[in-house]
Amino acid sequence: MDHLIYIPMPRFGSWIEPFPEGIYVRPADVWIDPSRPTPFALVTHGHADHARGGHEKVMATAETLAIMECRYGPQHGAPVAYGESLRIGEVEVSFVPAGHVLGSAQIVLEHAGERIVVSGDYKRRPDPTCAPFQPVPCDIFITEATFGLPVFRHPDTASEMDRLLERLHANPERCVLVGAYALGKAQRLIAELRERGHADPIYIHGALQRLCELYEEQGVALGDLRPATSASKDELRGRIVLCPPGALNDRWSRRLPDPITAMASGWMRIRQRARQRNVELPLVVSDHADWDELTQTIRELAPREVWVTHGREDALIHWCGLHQIKARELNLLGYEDEDD
């Protein structure tokens, strides 16, 4: 038997390497969503925990590049269309919709007979401001787990929007001040309200203005938006005012007519989080997959392995184990929940 030599089985995905500062794709010599400047970065979407400034070259969707330019100034960008197939080094690369925010993409990598999907952040429910998540069966699925606990089940967006409008109409002397993350959530809320026939002016905090304009330039109609700062108290009665979450309790909001404080976030499922921000009307609206969407997506894609990012990995890794799917945790730095 001494003529037999032991040849180790190559590990799945041995050609991509997760580092704390991002995922390195060796045969393409590119980084995905790196948290520090690199010679060549592929970027899934414009949220600050994925898109940083300072790369020598960036490949992303045109919408994501526009968002990065809005935030960081001119980029050495190479726009890529959804579904377009590119060869980078020895790797076939394509970007497909992730359904998270405008321009968000999953990055599909093919090399050595293996397909790896880096999903970035994603959700499965409809969003009038972006293309829907496209499932791509793969060998390794790299998933987020922002809401990776069974307690996180986001309700229907429609029911949350109805609660917001009921509260608004029941209080014509007050305004409803909604805290919403500046990229994605704010524009989605506006578009959802428009879809429900709410054609009144919506007043926005100055910090939301540039990104709302960018969405409109990219073809997402948001209707009549007005700056909240220049509006009188009387003008704001019976109106919806949007601001970034950080402005909910600051001096800025004191000039509003007795605001009903609301916040739109997946975290509003947790009462304590709502109380911390003095939120009277918590709206559970998230741009991330909830527990059911995470597990449904993994079932659907049937990957051989799941690699998990973004915080609450343990429960999802345990779930994968119960379903005979190999899973591991990736400790990427700086992936935060600011874009909830």
Site residues (vs Zn ion, CB under 5 A): 47, 49, 121, 339
47 touches 103 (CB < 8 A): no
Q: Which residues pair with 79 in a beta bridge?
A: 60
DSSP reduced 3-state for 116: strand
In the complex, least distance from residue 64 CB atom to Zn ion, rounded to whole angstroms: 11
Closer Cβ to Zn ion, 71 or 239, answer by number: 71
Contact between 310 and 47 under an 8 Å Cβ cutoff? The reply is no
Instruction: Closer to Zn ion by CB, 50 or 111: give it.
Output: 50
Work out how close the CB of 61 gets to Zn ion at its nearest, in angstroms, rounded to a whole number. 14
Nearest to Zn ion of 105, 260 (CB atom)? 105
In the structure encoding, which two tokens stand for residue 50, read together? 């994925």
Minimum CB separation from Zn ion for residue 337, in Å?
8
With contact defined as beta carbons under 8 Å apart, do 51 and 43 qualify?
A: yes
Lookup: tokens for 151: 């307690």
Pick the closer one to Zn ion by CB: 41 or 177: 41
CB nearer Zn ion, residue 32 or residue 256: 32
Q: How far is the CB of 216 from Zn ion (least distance, A)?
A: 21
Least CB distance from residue 106 to Zn ion, whole Å?
12
| Cβ count within 10 A of residue 230 | 9
- Residue 51, both tokens: 């898109």
| 305 versus 339: smaller Cβ distance to Zn ion | 339
Q: How far is the CB of 39 from Zn ion (least distance, A)?
A: 23
Q: Calculate the alpha carbon distances from 118 to 56, 92, 188 in Å.
A: 22, 13, 24
Round to whole Å and give the CA distance between 191 and 195. Answer: 6
